[in-house]
């Protein structure tokens, strides 16, 4: 009769690698193969291109708004990975027009380091979020390729938006190749730093935050950000939705 597996209950509650066992001084062969497969998924998430046409169609359906497409100064994926600074700036020929009365919110959907995350979750999150922002003037969604979070500052400033929300593919982990992050910034403009943003991460049902939960938290943060005219370290996660 084999000994009981003391780690079984913990493994059922997390995707983290716990209680893997050993074969001599190494991991069991099955666990090594699973680790190699997870590494391959993470690499694929970084290098796979975003299907912009399909994503734009889903975003248009979710928002009821036309979708704008832009790119960063990074010419391709290789340059994007080697030159993070280029992913933070819009390409020189980008044309974005501010609305006649400005916008309360600009939404930027950026491929980031996991196009898979954006492809899988951005439209679902937006569909859950926009009904919670009834009465807001929301600009047409912007899809940005070879883009990092700070690119949203440039987009928001050019659109004349009071704040910007960037939905971006987060750096893949060995158990999460499809994690979506949402970064909100009040008063977007060039030169902002990460401490001036708020982030809701690990949006990836069923293993991370659900769209409804993430949308509830984001709506509360956005509303409080607009009320107080700030974001970042001074905007704390308080209230029932942020618990």
> Is 95 a known ligand-binding residue?
no
CA atoms within 13 A on the CB side of 103: 24
Going by their DSSP bridges, the two strands 142-145 and 68-71 should be labelled as: parallel
In sequence order, the β-bridge partners of residue 182 are 167, 200
161: β partners: 103
Does residue 68 have a known ligand-binding role? no
Structure tokens at 239: 């209230």
**H/E element holding 68?**
strand 68-71
Confirm if 185 and 197 have CB atoms less than 8 A apart: yes
Residue 224 assigned to a binding site? no
Classify residue 177 by its DSSP letter. Answer: T
List, as residue ranges, the binding site. 149, 170, 199
List, as residue ranges, the binding site for adenosylcob(III)alamin. 149, 170, 199
């Amino acid at each position: 009769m084999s000994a009981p597996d003391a780690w079984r209950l913990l493994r059922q509650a997390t995707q983290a690698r716990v209680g893997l066992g050993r074969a001599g001084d190494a991991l069991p062969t099955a666990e090594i193969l699973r680790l190699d497969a997870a590494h391959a998924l993470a690499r694929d998430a970084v290098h796979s291109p975003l299907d912009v046409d399909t994503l734009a169609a889903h975003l248009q359906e979710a928002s009821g708004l036309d979708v704008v497409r832009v790119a960063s100064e990074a010419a391709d994926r290789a340059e994007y990975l080697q030159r993070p600074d280029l992913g933070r700036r819009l390409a020189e020929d980008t044309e974005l027009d501010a609305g006649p009365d400005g916008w309360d919110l600009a939404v930027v959907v950026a491929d980031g380091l996991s196009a898979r995350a954006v492809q899988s979750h951005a439209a679902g999150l937006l569909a859950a979020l926009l009904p919670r922002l009834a009465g807001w003037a929301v600009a047409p969604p912007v899809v940005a390729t070879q883009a990092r979070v700070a690119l949203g500052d440039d987009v928001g400033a050019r659109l004349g938006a009071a704040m910007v929300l960037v939905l971006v593919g987060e750096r893949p982990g060995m158990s999460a190749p499809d994690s979506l992050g949402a970064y909100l910034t009040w008063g977007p403009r060039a030169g902002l730093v990460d401490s001036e943003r708020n982030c809701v991460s690990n949006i990836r049902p069923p293993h991370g935050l659900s769209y409804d939960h993430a949308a509830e938290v984001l709506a509360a943060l956005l509303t409080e950000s607009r009320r107080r005219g700030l974001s970042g370290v001074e905007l704390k996660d308080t209230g029932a939705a942020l618990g």
